[in-house]
Structure 1
Amino acid sequence: MKQKGSHAVMSERKNVYLFYKQTEELEEKVQKIRKLGRKYDFSLVDDPKDANIIASFGGDGTFLQALQKTQFREDALYIGINDGDFGFYTDFTTEDTDRLELAMQSDMVEVLRYPILEVTIDGSKSFHCINELSLRSNIIKTFVIDVFVDDLYFETFRGDGLLVSTPTGSTAYNKSLGGAIVDPKLPSMQLTEMASVNNNQFRTLGSPLVLGKERELKLRIVQDGNDHPIIGVDNEAMGVRNSREISVKVSDRVIKTLRMKDNLFYHKLKRSFL
């Protein structure tokens, strides 16, 4: 699908909401960028519901918080501005205002559409995540989970927990668990084990499993003392108790972010890991 030119996309979006933790040092840098925005007729709004651009100042963690706090707006453009080096979600820094100004006035930027996960707990409470869903025991005891793919029983897992990640989240916790790195242009999710127990009684796949967009993953918790599992969504813990079944699928919704054309996903991989 042919995308709109980045300059056209930016010119159509002028209401900006800023998300950041206010500190004296960061505030000074943000003020400089606010001044730059006024030069190109961008307006600040106090309520994220009134914004069509949401800019986070901080690292990747701040970007994730901005998505959660603004409820994954599909009709807004998210921009990550790091207070330091580039991140996986932050293509700009507070130290390089020239790069930001270039993005405001040229075709050196493009809009990326990142797949996200839709998670439903016990058939009622639903939420989204762009990095990962983690499911772990809250007691010092192995966790038992029955795993279903498209309602077909797949395996019974026993171990510390399970992680379901997006392609962009594949470089985070998933990678440290030995999961594969997945190209963000592949709408998919990946199931990765945390310290699985494999013996004559329990047998799991023992390797990461990548599932396509049309699949649905169901994790049914075997209630043997783990009545209050720890459910992590991106970088936050969910306050959900007595969970029985968690359903995960790739959402039809996508998150639009802005990045420079000279900072491809593979540039980020090389910069971070090679």
Structure 2
Amino acid sequence: MKFSVSSKGDSVSDKLKSRIDTYLQDFGLKMDEEEPDIVISVGGDGTLLYAFHKYSHRLDKTAFVGVHTGHLGFYADWVPEEIEKLVIAIAKTPYQTVEYPILEVTVRYLNGNQEEKYLALNECTIKSTEGSLVADVEIRGELFETFRGDGLCMSTPSGSTAYNKALGGAIIHPSIRAIQLAEMASINNRVFRTVGSPLILPDHHTCVIKPLNDVDFQITIDHLTLLHKEVKSVECRVASEVVRFARFRPFPFWKRVVDSFIGKKE
């Protein structure tokens, strides 16, 4: 088996990365930064997002596992004290994988430039760089509403616990192939009226956001912030690809939610 280890870059994470590298190679596994079968992320959720994007071109061949070295990470199953146990599990145990749906984002332009496609593990956000975002929201090719406000957030089920949750969105179990659209401070008056609630779209529904004001747009794909000019539309759908996480022991989704947001009961 080929492996790679991604580190947050702080001293604690770097030391753990070095230990994992050494231990796994002692067990006969091969380090391969280009084509790993498994990627161990050491740090937090941001570190795993970085690893996801680094290997997003080979999601069908690479599985991920997380070790958190700071605050509890939602994607991280393991803590530093369990490194030896994790290494033995990777080296000796045929692991199971769980698959989570991800988001496909296509940005198209008025000037005829080639469209840009992205994959997101957590979410995509769309904001205007100047003033409010004004945009038509189309679902399955039909106008749903005209939005005016700070911006829009489209999230995956696993990403529903991130920015989406802060916006008042629902937490969705990642076994459900869906995406969720949440508003950022919408303006509602006699001209602009929105539904005012998050929308959960199944995997056969596409959402297209068409800006109506001629400004530059700040589009984020997870932790990546991109500036786009002359945007014609931003299309969001459930991607055909999935992200795969290596599981060496049960860690139910709702337990992750409890551990991350509620904590242990007294």
When normalised by structure 2's length, the TM-score is 0.89
Confirm or deny: 8 A CA contact 1:72 1:128 kept in the other structure: no
Deviation at 1:29, TM superposition (A): 1.9
What per-residue deviation string (whole Å, max 9, x for no partner) do you get for residues 118-164 of structure 1?
Answer: 1100071101001000001212x221110001111111001100000
Matching of residue 64 in structure 1 with residue 35 in structure 2: no
Partner of 2:205: 215
Matching of residue 26 in structure 1 with residue 13 in structure 2: yes
Partner of 1:7: none
The counterpart of 1:138, out of the listed 111, 129, 135, is 129
- Please give the root-mean-square deviation of Cα atoms over the aligned residues, in Å: 1.8
Rounded to whole Å, the distance in 2 between the matches of 1:162 and 1:22 is 32
What per-residue deviation string (whole Å, max 9, x for no partner) do you get for residues 33-59 of structure 1?
Answer: 1222124321112x32x2222222210
Confirm or deny: 8 A CA contact 2:12 2:69 kept in the other structure: no
The counterpart of 2:162, out of the listed 142, 162, 172, is 172
Comparing 243-252 with 19-28, greater Cα deviation is found at 19-28
Comparing 160-169 with 240-249, greater Cα deviation is found at 240-249
Matching of residue 247 in structure 1 with residue 197 in structure 2: no
Q: Secondary structure in 2 aligned to 1:92? A: coil
**Change over 3 Å in CA distance of 1:79–1:72 after alignment to 2:** farther
**Change over 3 Å in CA distance of 1:99–1:262 after alignment to 2:** farther
Rounded to whole Å, the distance in 2 between the matches of 1:254 and 1:180 is 21
Moved over 6 A (4+): none
Q: Secondary structure in 2 aligned to 1:122? A: strand
Q: Secondary structure in 1 aligned to 2:138? A: strand
The count of corresponding residues between Structure 1 and Structure 2 is: 255
Comparing 29-38 with 95-104, greater Cα deviation is found at 95-104
Amino acid aligned to 1:252: S
**Change over 3 Å in CA distance of 1:72–1:62 after alignment to 2:** farther
Amino acid aligned to 2:97: V
Deviation at 1:231, TM superposition (A): 0.3
Partner of 2:147: 157
Deviation at 1:259, TM superposition (A): 2.9
Confirm or deny: 8 A CA contact 1:73 1:255 kept in the other structure: no
Confirm or deny: 8 A CA contact 2:216 2:227 kept in the other structure: no
Amino acid aligned to 2:96: E
**Change over 3 Å in CA distance of 1:241–1:69 after alignment to 2:** farther
Deviation at 1:222, TM superposition (A): 0.7
Confirm or deny: 8 A CA contact 1:175 1:181 kept in the other structure: yes
Partner of 2:102: 116
Rounded to whole Å, the distance in 2 between the matches of 1:157 and 1:259 is 41
Where does the alignment leave 5 or more consecutive residues of structure 2 unmatched? 110-114
What per-residue deviation string (whole Å, max 9, x for no partner) do you get for residues 200-241 of structure 1?
Answer: 1111111000000011110000124xx211101111102432
Q: Secondary structure in 1 aligned to 2:20? A: helix
Rounded to whole Å, the distance in 1 between the matches of 2:178 and 2:248 is 24
Confirm or deny: 8 A CA contact 1:85 1:93 kept in the other structure: no
Amino acid aligned to 2:108: D
Where does the alignment leave 5 or more consecutive residues of structure 1 unmatched? 1-13
Amino acid aligned to 1:71: S
Rounded to whole Å, the distance in 2 between the matches of 1:128 and 1:58 is 22
The counterpart of 1:267, out of the listed 243, 250, 255, is 255
Confirm or deny: 8 A CA contact 1:86 1:92 kept in the other structure: no
Rounded to whole Å, the distance in 1 between the matches of 2:209 and 2:187 is 17
Comparing 229-238 with 258-267, greater Cα deviation is found at 258-267
When normalised by structure 1's length, the TM-score is 0.87
Q: Secondary structure in 1 aligned to 2:81? A: coil
Q: Secondary structure in 1 aligned to 2:49? A: helix
Confirm or deny: 8 A CA contact 1:19 1:66 kept in the other structure: yes
